[in-house]
Structure 1
């Protein structure tokens, strides 16, 4: 019998690391899975039981699942220098295939607001398919759909220091947003509920924000005015290419952005986390400046 009862995929990421910490705090034996050995070694040195594994190694992943009872499933983001849609669909299928014959009693799946059928609309279609193929594996499946991550705002910090940020989203679009810390806490909590707790749950922060609010929060955190500029719709794809995205990835992300605006989900009864936008950006700025306590709230 394995010494672990729970396994966490993406354990070194913004969400997975919180899941691991929450389970450890609850005294639940957990195995943290990461993609590379250096990251696994770093986790091990900090006292976390960890193992490096490529999720494309379906058989090895199934063997790990067979030795545990419950699993947090996160489909890893692909390198945007390649074809993200194709790569992420492949990893999602491998993870789902590893559930066959695993004997797991329950899984919690990380998904996204706006998940929907479609082609080449990034996470929206990939994670919708992931939800479905995991459920078809026959393991009781709890799906946590998370709103727009505050971590997506981190790359804007340098531009905000210069006084101008850009966005492909309409400036006044009221968007659900969330801290991955809150997503990790909710995933860990749901891993501990009875197997009858299945289906889709929506998770977002305490309030909804526009990108005008984002610019204002950066202004407050940095102590100077930060303006906002909307990227024209016909230049969204080019803006991703300027960031180093491949042609295929830029096309996928541009399609995902447009689909997110057209079918923005605003559920009436989401689970609301505790971390808000000012706390997120304040933590981001203080961490980057070395003036914080080491805790990054995003």
Structure 2
């Protein structure tokens, strides 16, 4: 049994993207690319492509619990993440189950809006994430619009990113990564605030492209993979950004809208890590 469980194992707790570019499909592709064995707990299904989300349906809480129990009974999971959580009922189910199992460090990607503009999370679910899920998390990884919703504060400059990160940390999450790709600048600069009060900026050249479907899923999944392999949180975040940059830079031509990333891509070295 010990030999079987030597391979780093991880799980994504998220929704399914039938178009394969985001959600648990992006997570599983990232896990494979980064050398860990990936599993999933399905919370919702979507009829989705690069043009948007056409329909969605949720999974019953009883079946969510069954999936958690099945994985916990057989695998040695070293890190996990959440993605699209759909609604308050699903958030509550995930929180209850995470309190029963040991799936290692938890990365929360607070997915709220699809690339095509479709809302993926209602207000009561956001409140439940803030109140119940974030205190369980090792890291939360909002982009700027998501960080603004979670905090009720606006972000237009570096100082405001730092203030919002501190606010999110006050909600109980140990570490915060605010992704800066939505800002109008030549670099995509992410701010990482650690529980020991150290902080870092992670910079990469911004790439002008519409093929960015699944960027948040991919980054958070890559962080989970690196944590499962034993990296520190700073190392894991840096390596994940290197992988994401390569996945965006080396485009593939799929779909007619916001196309998916290239999960075959290698790490790039043009990412800069700067301690604050």
Q: TM > 0.5 between the two? A: no
Provide TM-score, normalisation by structure 1: 0.41
Provide TM-score, normalisation by structure 2: 0.43
More helix by share: 1
Give the number of the structure whose alpha-carbon radius of gyration is greater: 1
